[in-house]
Amino acid sequence: MIAVGAWICLLSPLVAALAIALGANRFSRKATGYLATGSTAISFIAAILALGATLDRPESERSTVTTAFVWLGTHVGSIDLALLVDPLSLVMMLVVSGVGSLIIAYSIGYMDGEEEERRYFAYMAIFVFSMLLLVESANFLLLLAGWGLVGLSSYLLIGFWHERPSAVAAAKKAFIVNAIGDAAMMLSLFALLQHTGTLDFAAVFAQAEGLGKHPALINIVALGLLAGALAKSAQIPLHTWLPDAMEGPTPVSALIHAATMVTAGVYLIVRAHPLFEQAPYVQDAAAGLGAATLLGAGLIALVQTDIKRVIAYSTMSQIGYMFLAAGIGAYGAAIFHLMTHAFFKALLFLGAGIVIHALGGEQDMRKMGGLRKRLPRTFACMLVGTGALVGLPPLSGFFSKDVILAEVFSSGTYGKVLFAAGISGVFLTALYSFRLLFLVFSGEESEPARKRLTKHAGAEGPGWMTRPVAVLALLAIGGGWLEIAGLWHPFSTFLDQVAPPLVGAPSSAREWLLSAGSLGIALGGVWVAWTIYSARTQPAPRAPKALVEKLYFDRAYDLIFYRPAVALSALLRTLVERPVIESSEREIEAQTLTAGRLVTLTQSGLTRSYALAVAAGVSVIVIFFLALR
């Protein structure tokens, strides 16, 4: 049952993608949407069945490996086409297929009337397949295959509107930055394979302690994996692609760049935690970079004017929290926040999608405002999503973020420093998310909004768009109740087999105390946002240049990598290409022609001279042989 569920879950979106690709015009545009949604829903049902079958088993036997066949047989060992179903991958499967089917259903309404809907739905289905492959694989190689495939589908979907140069550039940027991470990851897997002779999760992790005795090796392996995770999850310093990735359609941003793919890095760290635990410095680096990202992205989000970019930076910031948790060893908390974040961030993106859809493609928040009356249900959903993001009880984010903060607080001196970053992040989160909410929904109705919205009735879009948003809103409210400090924690208990709980976990009294503190700080942030952007009793402060410039990362990379590369190429062109290669090409051509002309002299066309040559040649041979005797 578990094995069948896992395979159906994995292959159903692939079948849909192939059907759409091969069926071409035989499917109507709507039908491709139904096909993609249906196949992902089937994946979700299969994942639930697998979950049920897993829960029936005793706790120690909840990890199932199902092998289709030997994929690569080598002299050092073989790598199987095998899936691993355990609590961790089940959570990821449920999130990917569940949130995925809701978002693809939403796209049926959002993408309606788009020129190339079929291509869109085929890409979406491919993405879901790749993501499921990533989370279900039982060895590092298959994980890497899924890792590359999600990068590919992300590239394809960011550049979906390929007639826009900015979208193409964004797609390319995402692909290149991810390729850096992929390459690092691959090198680390080579090192791993050389020393362990296998890439199977179970076999590698069984040897983890032995690997820990070679500090150089284990640090390289962990660093390579971390680099892959940083690139995929858009963490500093490989984060620059995510804000640009907002060029893609909004449901793509919701599915790939908020709910699922960008959290793959967190999944990787949690999955490979036996390796990371042997390399404590790398773990600390992961936590530190997470903290840096959550602060940096939170700061940049304060000054963004594009509604999707604010949410994109917020995503980076929230994944920063997950890296923070995974880095200190609070794996359950990281995955829990990953799940609730998938709910409320998908909700926020889809809500923003409704706003953008209603305004005919307008994404600038300065041109919005006063939409509360026109889009009341969307406002309610966005309010829920924002509340969950900020961590207001009893919404989901309250529970998941506070677990992370409490566990960070109780992990040593370094933990205290990270905690300070995390708690400042709470304030920033409250500030930027309520800034977004107030700018879009409160205040005077702006001119473009009034013009667009009076024309339509039903501005919030068709039922295909509103219903998934409503479901996500319910999930964003209730998703956190799986884990209530001091009362019950079925979620982390379920995960404990795969991701052991933090040693010295905080007492629930301390957890509640910290929750109260962070709630107070969050409310402070909300109050500041209210005074500036809604009540307008304070003038909006001018945006600092450093933040508008996104902390100069793009500039720095341009200066450090792009320009020297271009300068070097130009130099090589003048020093090597032109004088050496191009002129030698010309010289070789001229010499060949001259030689050819010389040879044509022998081709007189006179039969008798040929005969003479033959006779002369024969006589030479004869004389030679005679002389030899």
CB of 599 to other proteins, least distance (A): 13
Quote the DSSP letter at residue 506. P
In degrees, to the nearest 5, what angle opens at C-alpha 178 toward C-alphas 356 and 11?
A: 80
In terms of Cα–Cα distance, which of 127, 355, 404 is closest to 257?
127
User: Which CB sits closer to other proteins, 78 or 619?
Assistant: 619
Minimum distance of other proteins from residue 598's CB (angstroms): 16
Nearer to other proteins, 503 or 606 (CB): 606
Q: Using CA atoms, how far apart are residues 548 and 612, in angstroms rounded to an integer?
A: 87
For other proteins, give the closer residue by CB, 60 or 600.
600
580 binds other proteins (CB under 8 A): no
Evaluate whether 6 touches 83 at the Cβ level (below 8 Å): yes
Q: Which two structure tokens, joined as six digits, stand for 574? A: 């003048």
Among positions 588-627, residues that touch other proteins (CB under 8 A) are 603-608, 611-612, 615
- Minimum separation from the CB atom of position 620 to other proteins (A): 15
Cβ nearer to other proteins, comparing 552 with 610: 610
Smaller CB separation from other proteins, 537 or 600: 600
Minimum distance from residue 613 beta carbon to other proteins (Å): 11
**Minimal distance in Å, beta carbon 603 to other proteins?**
6
Binding characters for other proteins, 426-455, by CB under 8 A (x = yes): ------------------------------
Smallest distance, Å, CB 606 to other proteins?
Answer: 6
**215/617 with CB nearer other proteins:** 617
Q: Give whichever of 361 and 605 is closer to other proteins, judged by the CB atom.
A: 605
Provide the token pair at 273: 């935690």
Least distance from other proteins to the Cβ atom of residue 183, Å: 58
Residues of this chain, 153-182, that bind other proteins according to CB under 8 A: none
What is the 3-class SS of 26-50, one letter each residue? HCCHHHHHHHHHHHHHHHHHHHHHH
Cα gap 429→433, rounded to integer Å: 6
List Cα–Cα distances, 628 to 36, 360, 614, 625, in angstroms: 85, 97, 21, 5
Q: What phi, psi does 499 have (nearest 5°)?
A: -120, 100
Number of residues near other proteins (by CB under 8 A): 9
| Shortest Å, Cβ 601 to other proteins | 12
**Residue whose CB is less far from other proteins, 165 or 605:** 605
Cis status of the peptide bond prior to 394, with omega within 30 of 0 = yes
Cα distances from 198 to residues 68, 135, 212, 217, 493, in angstroms, run: 18, 19, 16, 15, 30
Would you state the torsion angle of the CA atoms of residues 25, 30, 33, 37, taken in this order, to the nearest 10 degrees? Answer: -130
Whether the bond into 237 is cis, omega within 30 of 0 = yes
List interacting residues with other proteins (CB under 8 A).
603-608, 611-612, 615
